[in-house]
Amino acid sequence: MGDFFAYFNSGDNIHLIFPFSVFNFKMPWVGTAWLEDVIFYFLLYGLTVISLLKSKQRSFFYFSLVFFVATLFIQHRDIGRYSLPLWPLALIAHEKFFTSKKFIVICIILLPAIYLYAWNFLGYNIMPIADWTPYL
């Protein structure tokens, strides 16, 4: 018979015991105190769960609730990627907002900022490899 508490007895992984553990900047997988985007992820997906509560698609609500609660316990800087399965449900829950004229106007206004952000990110996110021959 195996060890029921094997997950807690191993010392090489991140244990998901406390909610909002991502805000402990001293942890190795967080490493920064600049976590304001995580608050916005939690806000968006929390509103998604609440919006889906009264929807006709109850399975969307239950999935988003379980996934959102699990996301609250993740102790990693990259909450955005961990919570990507909630994004389609957020689009469904907030369809009226995302298809409204005011949202489209703001997106058009922000297009230059999005372009500059992407351009800046592409210039910064390079691999320091001097010889690419083995990868070609």
Q: Can you give the length of the chain in residues? A: 136
List the one residue out of 91, 49, 42, 90 whose CA is nearest residue 66: 49
- Is residue 15 one of the residues assigned to a domain? yes
pLDDT digits (tens, 9 = 90+) for 35-50: 888 999 999 999 999 9
Rounded CA separation 78/22 (Å) = 9
pTM for the whole structure: 0.74
Residue with tokens 């969307």: 60
- Is residue 105 one of the residues assigned to a domain? yes
CA distances from 69 to 10, 12, 19, 35 (A): 23, 23, 9, 18
pLDDT digits (tens, 9 = 90+) for 75-89: 888 888 999 999 999
* Domain tally, the chain: 2
53 & 114 share domain: no
80 & 36 share domain: yes
pLDDT confidence band for 107 (50 / 70 / 90):
very high
Q: What is the DSSP letter of 122?
A: H
CA terminus-to-terminus distance, the chain: 48
